[in-house]
Structure 1
């Protein structure tokens, strides 16, 4: 019983840290196709809809789209899917991306940092 309480407590402690970390790492675009506004608002389900709507063949390996899908799934607590999208972004061609906070970074570095946020040791910070 005590172990179960610790696991539940950890889950609640980890989830807010992960969800709160996502918006600042959201990749931004001027046309809204990358769902940065939905991610920042915490509307992760809408972000997934936007990111999967009218998918163009070329966007399947777009690291910006993959990272934001990872962010949306992490925000919903679906870590397995989030990890898969971050991993796909790491394998995609590297490019400089504009983040929602106005900074720029390598898509691979963003994906690596995002995957690190999924680890329990990061969430407990």
Structure 2
């Protein structure tokens, strides 16, 4: 499992380096995750190395939310003072996400449907 941890942290470090050197606004760990996904797709045998670590992390995923919960409790006064604006922002952003997701799904479905129809016709 130490090899898997080294691989995952190495990809995160690489992503962080790329983000800082190139000046990307995308967080380094996200770039590292994309690099890891590309590496796993290119070298399928790495899956056997990374899978036990991934399963262990997923098994303890709830522990990763503890720092966020502590931060929420520390800033409870800010949330209490801005309760309604936060509720409005969360509601509108959730609604916007649902609308955009549904629209993209319908557009891709139409696009794929027309591609499948043309394949069947020929």
Pair in the same fold by TM > 0.5? no
TM-score normalised by L of structure 1 = 0.23
Select the structure that is richer in helix: 2
Instruction: Please report the TM-score for the alignment, with normalisation by the length of structure 2.
Output: 0.23
Q: Which has the higher strand share?
A: 1
